[in-house]
Amino acid sequence: MTLRLLLAALASFVIVAPVAAHPHVWVTMTSELVYAPDGSVTGIRHHWTFDDMFSAFATQGIEAKEKGKFTREELMPLAQTNVESLKEYDYFTFATADGKKAAFNDPLPDYWLDYKNALLTLHFTLPFKQPVKAKLLRVEIYDPTIFVDFEFAKTNPVSLAGAPPGCKLDVVLPQQITYAQSQRLGEQFFNALTTAQNWGEQYANKILVNCP
């Protein structure tokens, strides 16, 4: 099942619940910017942990040798279809280098899912199409339609792997859409949103790296 179908199916389940509101899926993430020896940034490595409801829904029907546990191999088909379907959403990751768009290639083939404490975590690396050297690198992570809520982990949310001396990292957390706001706007409003409208950009998680 692709991520799109999985999200749609989960939405139909959640919408009938008394607490129906956007977002419907919650992701806690940590990220690493990966540097080459020459000081350029080659990509970003994501680790996305999904909420318990999504994790339970996504693993339904997956055969496991041990009840309640899934190996990386058992989860690989789900990892592959989900990573491939994320392309439609630009992997919810958007970057600029000194104000100019910095495009990503498809994820490296070493992606995987793991399952721990009843939660799924997706690990994947997005390489830049061209290594980036910039005084200001800006990476934003968000869902334009706010179906998925992204939140950085409380500790060590972002790291710089191999960055040259003098680079300064800032993590800017977004304002969170409240339950009251979601109810006031209404489910119909959110369901009408498209990625082209990019309404969720105002709730983006931002990574800012300033280098000399």
Strands (E), 36-147: 41-50, 93-97, 100-101, 112-116, 119-132, 136-141
pLDDT at 12: 38
pLDDT of residue 148: 86
| 130 three-state secondary structure | strand
Instruction: Summarize pLDDT for 27-85 with one digit per residue, the tens.
Output: 999 999 999 999 999 999 999 999 998 899 889 888 888 888 899 999 999 999 889 88
Q: Which residues of the chain are under the pLDDT cut of 50? A: 1-2, 4, 8-20, 186, 190
Cβ contact 188:59 at 8 Å: no
125 strand-pairing partners: 45
What is the per-residue pLDDT for 75? 94
**pTM of the predicted protein model:** 0.83
Q: Where are the domains of the chain?
A: 3-12+21-210
